[in-house]
Amino acid sequence: MAVLCGNCAGKLIFNPATQKLECATCGSAFRPEDVEDKNAELHSKYYDTRVYLCSHCGAEVVTSDTESSTFCVYCGNPAIVFDRVSKEYRPDGIVPFQVTKEEAVKYIRLRFLKNPIVPKEVKDKCIPANLRGIYIPYWIVNTDYTEADYIKGEVKQGKHSEIRYYSRAGKVKFKNIPIDGSNILSDDISRKLEPFYLEDAKEFDEDYLNGFYSNRSDLNYYDLRASTAYRCHKMFEDEVVKSVQARNVKIVDSIYHVDIHDDPIYMMMPVWFFTFKFEGKPYTVLVNGQTGKVVGTMPWQKKKIYTIAVSIFVITLALSAFCFWASENRFLGMSQIYFNAVAGLIAMESFFFAKGFFGIKKILKNLKLTQSEAIFKFVKKRQE
Amino acid sequence: MNTMDSYVLVYGMYIGLGVFSALALSLFITYLILNKNNNYGDFAPDIEEYSQGGIYYTREVNNVTSHEKNFLFMEYGENPYEGRQHNYPEQLLKNSSGDQNDSL
């Protein structure tokens, strides 16, 4: 369980900045690989953890012996109770945290918090005390993969467009694809956290977990095969459409097969979770603990956004009306300039409308992903 | 159509276009502002990142018919990896529920 300082028997915590275990009591520092595991034989297959249960969303939060949990890192609820001491399968490897909690806060601030539409309440909550470091389980898989696609595309024939169909089939050998091993974290979110660089991976040592939470893999073989097939299919699909010389290329139908090679590698990857509540809704912003990549969508002040949108609408409308009037009345003798300005705006309006409409729709979808109520629902679904 | 009607038509069109332009621009700028709050991005590692040499194409035919689609799926419908035996970690097998009896 807890690793104690060899000098004063204080608890040791892993510091990502120095990559060493540090004693908060006497300040001694040790390399994780130098700290002796007195129960090495007993721990060869499993390692000990403390499991907390969130009574709000049902998530299991796993910690090492040195960290006690005070709120659920997934839904932000403080209704979390110690459940049991558990033996977990020992992962093959671990990518230790390289980004410190303070750096993670800095990356979130740099990415989001300079924006004036982010509520002050949220900005105030972005402090190191509200971040939790979690090791997320991943399976690193190698696969053989085959796919056949029936594809549709538009080809220009003079003034008209013609629909044409294409067939593509091929094989790929995928190597080291990381597949999120935890059902609680949406695959859409975990995919955006990538890349993780396996060059920095170490052989698993539970000392790296000191001071952090961890999650255990609850995937079975069938889940892993389904996630891997989907992941390979998405990558194949993105590539295969590039091979078709047409516009608006879409895959109409496809068939695919995957074969996962022997012994996928069980790895722990570092992620910082910033969980907070705003207007009664939970939000989770993630930071890749190796690269510092920030993933999430921040809430905004609705009043401010409506004011900005309405103001732009009114100003543009007034300007258009003025230009029409000026063009008709040859204001200052420059009717052509006003006419061109309006014509230019009109020519661009379809682009502006499509980009704005679909862009906002996508942002709202991403906001829903960040509102970890989605994770809550997902967990509930798994429990049914 | 008299002169009055054509005035109404022309000005009605001007007003409609003006309102639509204002709406489009307002949506676009609002999107740009909100996008600063969003960092899911479009980035997800592609096939180059995780494959050895990309796709090895076994079929690349342009201008096919729907009839040929059936042949394509007949040809590739069979799992080429059927019957391969593998070792998987105990954890993955233990997490499996008892009702799934497919061979691995």
pLDDT in tens, A20-43: 888 878 888 888 777 766 555 555
Do both A310 and A230 map to the same domain? no
Do both A227 and A339 map to the same domain? no
* Contact assignment for B37 to A117 by CB distance below 8 Å: yes
Contacts of A261 in chain B (CB under 8 A): 86
Do both A328 and A241 map to the same domain? no
Predicted TM-score (pTM) of the model is 0.78
Contacts of A168 in chain B (CB under 8 A): 57, 59-61
Domain for residue A36, yes or no?
no
Judge if the upstream peptide bond of residue B80 is cis by omega within 30 degrees of 0. Answer: no
Domain for residue A123, yes or no?
no
Q: Report the range of poorest mean pLDDT among A61-70, A90-99, B81-90.
A: A61-70
Q: How far is B5 from chain A (nearest CA, A)?
A: 18
Question: Which residues constitute the domain of residue A144?
Answer: 133-299
For A293, the token pair is 């990549």
Q: For residue A84, list its beta bridge partners.
A: A51
H helix or E strand, kind and range, residue A313: helix A302-328
Nearest-Cα residue of chain B relative to residue A360: B31
Distance CA A187, CA A174 (A): 18
Number of domains present in the structure of chain A: 2
Is residue A47 pLDDT above 70, yes or no?
yes
Q: What is the pLDDT of residue A384?
A: 35
Q: How far is A200 from chain B (nearest CA, A)?
A: 17
Picking from A250, A269, A299, the residue at the C-terminal end of a domain is A299
Nearest-Cα residue of chain B relative to residue A315: B22
Domain for residue A172, yes or no?
yes
Domain for residue A334, yes or no?
yes
Domain for residue A2, yes or no?
no
Burial of A16 (0-12, 13-18, 19+ CB in 10 A): buried
* Contact assignment for A253 to B69 by CB distance below 8 Å: yes
Q: How far is A220 from chain B (nearest CA, A)?
A: 4
Do both A155 and A236 map to the same domain? yes
Do both A145 and A239 map to the same domain? yes
Do both A291 and A312 map to the same domain? no
Give the N- to C-terminal CA distance of chain A in Å, as an integer.
33
Do both A285 and A141 map to the same domain? yes
Do both A286 and A145 map to the same domain? yes
Q: Report the range of poorest mean pLDDT among A18-22, A73-77, A294-298.
A: A73-77
Phi, psi of A50 (to 5 degrees): -110, 130
- Output b/e per residue, A320-345; b: 16+ Cβ within 10 A: bbebbebbeeeeeeeeeebeebbeeb
* Contact assignment for A357 to B34 by CB distance below 8 Å: no
Percentage of residues of chain A with pLDDT beyond 90: 27
Domain for residue A31, yes or no?
no
Q: Mean per-residue pLDDT for A297-326?
A: 87
Is residue A139 pLDDT above 70, yes or no?
yes
Q: Mean per-residue pLDDT for A6-28?
A: 80
Burial of B20 (0-12, 13-18, 19+ CB in 10 A): middle
Count other C-beta atoms under 10 Å from residue B41's C-beta.
12
Residues of chain B with pLDDT under 50: 98-104
Do both A288 and A306 map to the same domain? no
